[in-house]
Amino acid sequence: MARKKDELAELRGRLRSQTELYREAEPLLPVARALQEAIDARLLGEPGSVIDVDAAWDAAVREVATRIIGERLEAMEPEAVLGLYADRVGDEELKATLGAWAARRVRELELKQRREQLRDEAARSGSIPLAGLEPGSRLRLGLFEPSQTSQARRDGSVPPSRTMELRLVEPESGCVDLISDVVLPFSAADTLPASSRGWIGSTIRGVDQVRRLEPRLQLHAPLGYDFGGGPTNTPQIVGFVEIDDGVLLLQGAA
């Protein structure tokens, strides 16, 4: 009986030690998995090629370390990151990662501030000057029938009768690439061919009475465009404008 008690105690002790060891190692498991995946990806290589195991290991470690550093930085306050950078960290890779993160963060904050200012101005004026946006920005326009002005909102009770997605090529002139132009089913409205380049804005007439496009999107007004046939207007009106990942730039009051 004493022997069985001793064996049971020993088993419990081993189990307790393994449990404590697992608890200590558990935070490192995602790192181990990421490292294993990075190594495997390099060891597979091309069929018949010679694998440099040491080089694969070093490259995998660098890749995982950089990824972990980036993830940790994303979770930190900007002041803490800049403090680390100011302390002149000795590791060159960490310094490079911190510098790239800080530069990207500054660009993100500047972009966010510009868009907030643009959105505030759009709420006051009911229009967006395209020159205030960045080249490469993707715009999504919700267009409605003129009779739906009071409901022409992204969160309104009726969907847009027409949705256009565009990529800004030259904001100052209103030059865009048309990504898609979709109308509701059973609509007789004409659409523009995708993957075409043209200009958008608000149609105005100069002193010479010639119709021109001003690179500005006007709420509850037709979208002016020129994709090769001269400036013209959509039969629908602009209800809302989104940019990139669904950030609302322009929309009328409820």
134-147 confidence digits (pLDDT tens): 999 999 999 999 99
Q: CB-based contacts of 48: which residues, under 8 Å, 6+ apart?
A: none
Owner of token pair 């004026």: 125
Q: Average pLDDT of 237-242? A: 95
The angle at the Cα of 110, spanning 106 to 112, to the nearest 5 degrees, equals 115
pLDDT of residue 115: 82
DSSP 74-111: HHS-HHHHHHHHHTT-S-HHHHHHHHHHHHHHHHHHHH
User: Which residue's entry shows tokens 């200009």?
Assistant: 199
Which one-letter amino acid corresponds to residue 189?
Answer: A
Q: How far apart are CA 81 and CA 191, in angstroms?
A: 49
* pLDDT for 22 beyond 50: no
pLDDT at 80 over 80: no
Higher pLDDT, residue 10 or 45:
10
Q: pLDDT tens digits for 23-54?
A: 544 454 555 555 566 656 655 654 555 555 56
Q: pLDDT tens, 147-191? A: 998 888 888 889 999 999 999 999 999 999 999 999 988 776 788
Mean pLDDT score, 218-239: 93
CA distances from 227 to 152, 173, 191, 199, 232 (A): 25, 13, 11, 6, 9
Residue 209, judged by CB atoms within 10 A of its CB (0-12, 13-18, 19+), counts as exposed
Q: Which amino acid is residue 50, in one-letter code?
A: V
Provide the pLDDT for residue 26.
47
pLDDT tens, position by position, 94-125 = 667 667 777 888 888 888 888 888 888 888 99
pLDDT digits (tens, 9 = 90+) for 49-79: 555 556 666 666 666 666 666 666 666 666 5
Residue 6 CB coordination number (10 Å): 10
Confidence category of residue 91, pLDDT binned at 50, 70, 90:
low
Whole-number pLDDT of residue 38: 60
More confidently predicted of 243 and 15: 243
| pLDDT surpassing 60 at residue 235 | yes
